[in-house]
Amino acid sequence: MAYNWWEIRVLCHPSLEEVIAWRLDTFGCRGTASQVQENQCLIWAYIPEEQAQMLDLSALAVHLRQDALCMNLPTPVVNWDLIEEEDWASSWKQYWQPQEIGDYFLIHPAWLDLPENLDRIILRLDPGAAFGTGTHPTTELCLESLEMRLGLEPNPEAIIADIGCGSGILSIGAALLGVRQIYAVDIDPLAIRSTIGNRKLNDITAEKLIVEHGDIEHLIKLASGPVDGIVCNILAEVIIDIIPRLEAIAKPTTWGVLSGILLEQAKSIADTLEENGWVVATLWKRGEWCCFNIRRS
């Protein structure tokens, strides 16, 4: 028996993407996707028909507009339609195309044919219901930071920790840049499933990229010792909470890449880092977002 799904489409300013994604996740959406073009972001989300009525969708639209008002950003345009079950899982894929990031990477949707004779590292991705397609500025900044750390100065013995791995895009990027091992955790079971699937897509072994469900405390136990690099692209509020725990997996030479942070949140992050023995080496900005490249003091 086929079921109907609500397809929710939100056209918004790119700086609203993470807030809207959080709202949609809280609303109960099973999957989301997004694409940024010419200073506009289009987000798709899907929820079973029986879980939301028209009044619920109208209330969601009001919340999204209120969020934009609070952030002094343009009001998003929200629309929705009912679609058949067999269409919902793939309808967003037509909008997502291969994307070059930095000097090294090509993020390539798994369902498209691979290009020939391309002088880039091809990172194949099927994000499923997890975040992290490479289209968001924070993901771009993190991958470019990994290029700087691991592309310009290769370290085949490096061990990396990925906190909040999402689709696994940063873990897989590190693996393709030649590190020895990656430990990845996420509190969302869908993210774990997505990362494992993308690990297989990119022919990365389970021994090289170890993925488990859990938080920073679980990662500390999983790694069982210091790592060379830490990547974390999640909400700023969560980053502030985990910074004091990073010492447990850090050594004097450990570096970190932190993003998911709005420019207005940068000072709080910087203050917390300083209080916990970290130095901000560089702060990269793109639009309303920033990425911290850090090292031990």
pLDDT tens-digit readout, 112-125: 888 877 789 999 99
Distances (CA, A) of 290 to 36, 183, 273, 282: 17, 24, 15, 10
What pLDDT is attached to residue 250?
Answer: 97
Q: Is the pLDDT of residue 91 over 70?
A: no
Class of domain 99-296: alpha beta
pTM (predicted TM-score): 0.74
Architecture of domain 4-95: 2-Layer Sandwich (3.30)
Highest mean pLDDT among 134-148, 181-195, 246-260: 246-260
Greatest CA span in the chain, whole angstroms? 60
pLDDT digit string, tens, across residues 269-278: 999 999 999 9
The structural domains of the chain, with segments of one domain joined by +, span 4-95, 99-296
Mean local confidence (pLDDT), 35-63: 87
